Copies of this chain bind each other. A is one copy, B any other.
Amino acid sequence: MPSAGAPKFRRRKADRPDEIIAAALEVFVEKGFSAARLEDIAARAGVSKGAVYLYFATKEEIFRAVVEQGFAPNLQTIRNLAEGVPLPPLLRDLTVTISQPLATTKIGGIIKVVIGESRNFPELARAWHDTLVAPALAAMTSAIAAAQARGEIRPGDPRQFAISLISPLLVGVLWKETFVPVGAAALDIRALAKQHVELWLAGVAQPETA
């Protein structure tokens, strides 16, 4: 009977943690860590307050799980930054690959929460920095430096070039999380990314020195 394949009314125990994390993410993004009520998280996950404590020992642990779970899907993306490839096609490609999840997943909310709680949970901010942000920035920086060495792009601080490149994406997701919910005009992150990459490529191109 259990093999019949029809999903049972009661969900499997194994699903609960993820359901709770998903619910918690929403609540944390809305309220921040402190103002988030455990009861809200539980309710949104469709379980009782007590059930949450079957899977997480404290509210903090839920928060950590939420933030850490924001890592995994993004780690791979970073490793795709190959150095030997000419930048223009690489970036035009990457733009699509990156702006897609930024526009559609919850990652923006996590970024917002990490920023907001960075002083209350410094280890999490540090983990995000060390595991995601710094490596990603370093990868882009060295890809840019390599392109400079090949003469493809003009001189200048490659780290600052990298920041110039990715900042609008970050601002885009924060805009979406911060101002759109209070009535601001939406931002087409993908269009923004596309136009910005062209701007950036033109901006870092070698001047046509005759």
Contacts and interface: CB of A to CB of B under 8 A. Distances in A.
Interface of A: 29-35, 112, 114-120, 122-123, 125-126, 129, 133-134, 156-157, 160-161, 163-164, 166-168, 170-172, 174, 177-179, 181-184, 187, 191-192, 195-196, 198-205, 207-208
A164 B187 CA distance: 12
B181 A119 contact: yes
A131 to B, nearest CB: 12
A29 B125 CA distance: 15
Copies of this chain, whole number: 4
A200 to B, nearest CB: 6
Nearest to A192: B160
B195 A164 contact: yes
B116 A164 contact: no
B117 A115 contact: no
A156 to B, nearest CB: 6
B191 A32 contact: no
Given A35-B34, A119-B29, A199 B203 contact: yes
21 contacts: A30-B120, A31-B119, A32-B33, A32-B35, A32-B116, A34-B34, A34-B35, A114-B178, A115-B116, A115-B177, A122-B181, A125-B178, A163-B187, A164-B168, A164-B195, A167-B167, A167-B168, A198-B203, A202-B204, A202-B205, A203-B204
Contact of A160 (B116, B129, B177, B191): B191
Contacts of A198: 203
A199 B200 contact: yes
Contacts of A133: 179, 184
Contacts of A177: 115, 118
